[in-house]
Amino acid sequence: MFENVDAVMLARIQFGFTIAFHFVFPAFTIGLSSFLAVLNGMWLWTRDDAYLQLWKFWVKIFAVAFAMGVVSGITMSYQFGTNWAVFSDKTGPVLGPLMAYEVLTAFFLEAGFLGIMLFGRERVGDTLHMIACLMVAVGTAISASWILSVNSWMHTPAGYSIAENGQFVPEDWWAIIFNPSFLPRFAHTLTAAYLTTAFIVGGVGAYHLLKGRAGNKSVATMFSMAMWMAALVAPVQIFLGDAHGLNTLEHQPMKIAAMEGHYPDYPDGAPLFLFGIPNEEEGRMDYAVSIPKLSSLILKHDLDAPLDGLNSVPREDRPPVAIPFFAFRVMVAMGFLMLGIGAWSLWSRYRGTLYTNRWLHRAAVVMAPSGLIAVLAGWMTTEVGRQPYTVYNVLRTVDSVSPVAAPAVGASLLAYIVIYFIVFGAGVFYILRLMGKTPTPRDKGVSKEDGPIRTAGITPAAQVAGPGNLPVE
């Protein structure tokens, strides 16, 4: 089974692995930074301590997640060069400026105001601190917009010509940035990030409710806020997902065929496969369970609309089927489960049992990682579905890699895997432990198992060397 593992495959695995690890953190921190800004605003408005308490609870988690997002993101920014040098040479003139704008408009904004947000509340006053919180939240969203513009351009390239030396040359920046799949993809992904955070926050709130802390107002508040997000945003997300799917059908029909498992053409209505095992050799779905014509109804809003299958293009131009097919189903399943939780929470709220319905709380705890699962599944669907191209229909993946030998790529891949699991494993452990602590009105001194409590970075004055506060060495 390793005969296909060459430098290209290893480079793909490396990119996929490092970006999957990275993606988890921004997907969480984009939503969390907005949540923190809202909490801070609510506190300034109402002066209700529950909001400040929540802010202090979540900002520590944010700081840990953000640090992991930063360090894993820096490796991404150099990976284009190390493993995809030909891609970099060719697309640099078009994609480079977009990434440079991401750094200039977003990364610096986040980094510049992060320090003030985390450690500066007492030093700059309420207004500037609120501005810092907003800048961090806005920065994460701006960052997402640029990176999704880059990513979308690789799916639906526009606004370029190709020079004699093989480089893509920009002709129309507006067309490049707002390429045909950018807006649906951006809306779908940004909303996914907010939902991801909502379900993590809701899961943590539900956990504390199950532990009998409903009397703690900040626990009730976080669960309630998260469930509002779930109820209001999950249906919007399903609508946006449908819009994105229609856009993909228009511009990347073979990706849709792979997601749907459609091998043959269906001239008079295509079925929706509920299950099946793709058989790449024979070009059909084995063990298929399908509903006739439903796929045509979903995709074209017409039972009898024709859809082309993968067999309509040469084998070397087809994306692999298994990953998009299964990952897509996982994503959709998560989406509908989220919708269900949102609706359930509305019903419980109406019945007045939002804080006492233990089954809802258990479900919310189980569903806490659902957003992350959906985000990763969706990303795998769209990226594997773009194969065998890096720039859709223009530049092939096999023609994009660096002249780096397989052993070098393999060794670095191994290093990434080992180090990422150690470092980010520890980080996730610390985040889970922070999530499990009860939000308290005041940070109280030093507890042995947690080390010095600080506002995530700067140890508050009393804890660095205050009398009697030094932890046992």
Partner 1 sequence: MGLEISLNLTVAWAFLLATAIFIYVLLDGFDLGLGILYPFFPQKRDRDLLMNSVAPVWDGNETWLVLGGGGLFAAFPLAYSILMPALYAPVIAMLLALVFRGVAFEFRWRTVRWRAAWDWAFIGGSTMAALCQGIILGAILQGVAVDGRSYGGGWLDWLSPFSAVTGVAVVCGYALLGATWLNMKLMGEPQEKARSLAWGFALATVAFIVIVSLFTPYLEAGYYDRWFRWPNVIYAAPVPIVVGLLTLFLFRALHVHQHDKWPFLLALALFLVTFIGLGISIWPYVIPTEVTIYDAASPYKSQLFMFVGAVVLIPIILAYTAYSYWVFRGKLDPDKGGYH
Residues 285-314 that bind partner 1 (CB under 8 A): none
User: If DSSP codes are grouped into helix, strand and coil, which group holds residue 258?
Assistant: helix
228 CB burial (10 A radius; 0-12, 13-18, 19+): middle
By C-beta, is 238 or 462 nearer to partner 1?
462
Q: What minimum distance in Å lies between the beta carbon of 440 and partner 1? A: 17
By C-beta, is 113 or 344 nearer to partner 1?
113
Total interface residues for partner 1 by CB under 8 A:
93
Q: Are strands 168-170 and 395-396 parallel, antiparallel or unpaired?
A: unpaired
- Give the integer Cα–Cα distance in Å for 69 and 60: 14
The reply to whether 13 sits near partner 1 by the rule CB under 8 A is no
Helices and strands: H and E segment counts in the chain: 16, 6
By C-beta, is 1 or 465 nearer to partner 1?
465
- Give the integer Cα–Cα distance in Å for 362 and 201: 14
The reply to whether 16 sits near partner 1 by the rule CB under 8 A is no
Q: What minimum distance in Å lies between the beta carbon of 383 and partner 1? A: 20
For partner 1, the binding residue among 17, 19, 38, 89 (CB under 8 A) is 89
By C-beta, is 264 or 452 nearer to partner 1?
452
Q: What minimum distance in Å lies between the beta carbon of 185 and partner 1? A: 21
For partner 1, the binding residue among 8, 102, 247, 307 (CB under 8 A) is 102
Q: What minimum distance in Å lies between the beta carbon of 376 and partner 1? A: 20
Structure tokens at 56: 């202090």
Q: For the range 294-302, what are the long-range contacts, defined as Cβ-Cβ under 8 Å and sequence gap of 24 or more? A: 295/260, 295/262, 295/266, 295/270, 295/271, 296/266, 296/269, 296/270, 298/242, 298/245, 298/272, 299/245, 299/246, 299/249, 299/256, 299/260, 299/270, 300/249
Binding mask 327-366 for partner 1 (x = CB under 8 A): ----------------------------------------
Buried b (16+ CB within 10 A) or exposed e, 48-76: eebbbbbbbbbbbbbbbbbbbbbebbebe
For partner 1, the binding residue among 81, 292, 436, 445 (CB under 8 A) is 81
- Give the integer Cα–Cα distance in Å for 390 and 383: 9
Q: What minimum distance in Å lies between the beta carbon of 58 and partner 1? A: 14
Q: Hey, which residues between 113 and 172 contact partner 1 (CB under 8 A)?
A: 113-116, 118-120, 123-124, 163, 165-167, 169-171
114 CB burial (10 A radius; 0-12, 13-18, 19+): buried
Q: Hey, which residues between 166 and 225 contact partner 1 (CB under 8 A)?
A: 166-167, 169-171, 173
For residue 273, give the H/E element and its range: strand 272-279
Q: Which amino acid is at 13?
A: I
The reply to whether 369 sits near partner 1 by the rule CB under 8 A is no
The reply to whether 461 sits near partner 1 by the rule CB under 8 A is yes
The reply to whether 82 sits near partner 1 by the rule CB under 8 A is yes
The reply to whether 17 sits near partner 1 by the rule CB under 8 A is no
For partner 1, the binding residue among 5, 232, 366, 470 (CB under 8 A) is 470
Q: Kindly list the distances between the CA atom of residue 413 and the CA atoms of 58, 72, 79, 249, 387, in Å, as whole numbers in the listed order.
A: 33, 14, 11, 34, 21
By C-beta, is 4 or 165 nearer to partner 1?
165
The reply to whether 80 sits near partner 1 by the rule CB under 8 A is yes
Q: Kindly list the distances between the CA atom of residue 464 and the CA atoms of 49, 114, 454, in Å, as whole numbers in the listed order.
A: 25, 21, 9
By C-beta, is 232 or 411 nearer to partner 1?
411
- Give the integer Cα–Cα distance in Å for 346 and 215: 21
Binding mask 44-73 for partner 1 (x = CB under 8 A): -------------------xx--xx-xxxx
Q: What minimum distance in Å lies between the beta carbon of 126 and partner 1? A: 14
The reply to whether 326 sits near partner 1 by the rule CB under 8 A is no
Residues 152 and 186 sit within 8 Å (Cβ to Cβ):
yes
Structure tokens at 395: 């530049």
Q: Hey, which residues between 385 and 444 contact partner 1 (CB under 8 A)?
A: 402-405, 408, 412, 415-416, 419-420, 423, 426-427, 430, 433-434
Structure tokens at 29: 């921190």
Peptide bond before 93: cis, by omega within 30 degrees of 0?
no
By C-beta, is 445 or 457 nearer to partner 1?
457
By C-beta, is 86 or 339 nearer to partner 1?
86
